Amino acid sequence: MTINFEYETEIPLDLDYEKIITSVIEMASDYEECPYEIEVSVVLTDDETIRQINAVNRQIDKATDVLSFPMLEYEAPSDFTAIEEEEPDYLFNPDSGELVLGDIVISVEKVMEQAEKYGHSNKRELAFLTAHSMLHLFGYDHMVDEERMVMEEKQNEILNKLGIVRE
């Protein structure tokens, strides 16, 4: 597994963010039974930059906590059969052979703001946003209540398996 990290803000997040994010990505991949070694890019940034990315990519001109940019289109979440049947080369890093799952962009400002708002640690909020984003990279969504409830349950199970619970 390869995780490409970029820390693109002057705002310090005083925790071992690489370790936390890596553990959540590994757990989410195992939890969803991904049959491939994966590559994920993670950018930690500020509200202004994530606002700009949100405006360009989603036409929503406001800061958000996390953005997910999946490389795959699934017939159903975590259904890897289309890849297994076709194995399109463009989905795999030619150097490592890893499945390029997609990109995650997290606002460090929102991590701290939401941790305070919800009464838990920055670690828990960062882990939550990473789990949430990984589920998007695996094809889950939360546009309707049924999908939202599935995502919430999976997020909680991933974090519980890591012992990262609400305080």
The pLDDT tens digits of the residues spanning 92-142 come to 999 999 999 999 999 999 999 999 999 999 999 999 999 999 999 999 998
Query: Tokens 């490592």 identify what position?
Result: 96
Instruction: For residue 28, give the amino acid letter.
Output: A
Indicate the length of the chain as a whole number: 167
- Tens of pLDDT, residues 42-100: 999 999 999 999 999 999 999 999 999 999 888 899 998 878 766 677 889 999 999 99
Q: Amino acid identity of 40? A: V
Q: Which of 68, 65, 158 is nearest to 112 (CA)?
A: 65
Helical segments of the chain, H only: 17-31, 47-58, 81-86, 108-118, 122-137, 145-161
pLDDT value for 59? 96
Predicted local confidence at residue 110, as pLDDT: 98
Is 120 within any annotated ligand binding site? no
Chain centre distance of CA 29: 11
Is 132 flagged in the annotation as binding? yes
Q: Which domains, from first to last, does the chain contain?
A: 2-161 (3.40.390.30)
Exposure string (b/e) for 97-107, b if CB count within 10 Å is 16 or more?
ebbbbbbbbbb
For CA atoms 123, 24, 148, 105, the dihedral sign is positive
What pLDDT is stored for residue 9 in this prediction? 96
Q: 16-20, 34-38, 141-145, 147-151: which has the minimum mean pLDDT?
A: 141-145
pLDDT, average across residues 27-46: 97
- The answer, yes or no, to whether residue 1 has pLDDT greater than 70, is yes
* DSSP character at residue 44: E
Give, in order, the Cα–Cα distances in Å from 93 to each of 6, 41, 50, 121.
19, 12, 26, 35
pLDDT surpassing 90 at residue 144: no
Contact criterion met (CB below 8 Å) for 40 and 137: yes
pLDDT at 86: 67
CB atoms under 10 Å from CB of 42, counted, come to 20
Look at strands 66-70 and 99-107 and give their pairing: antiparallel
**How far apart are alpha carbons 18 and 21 in whole angstroms?**
5
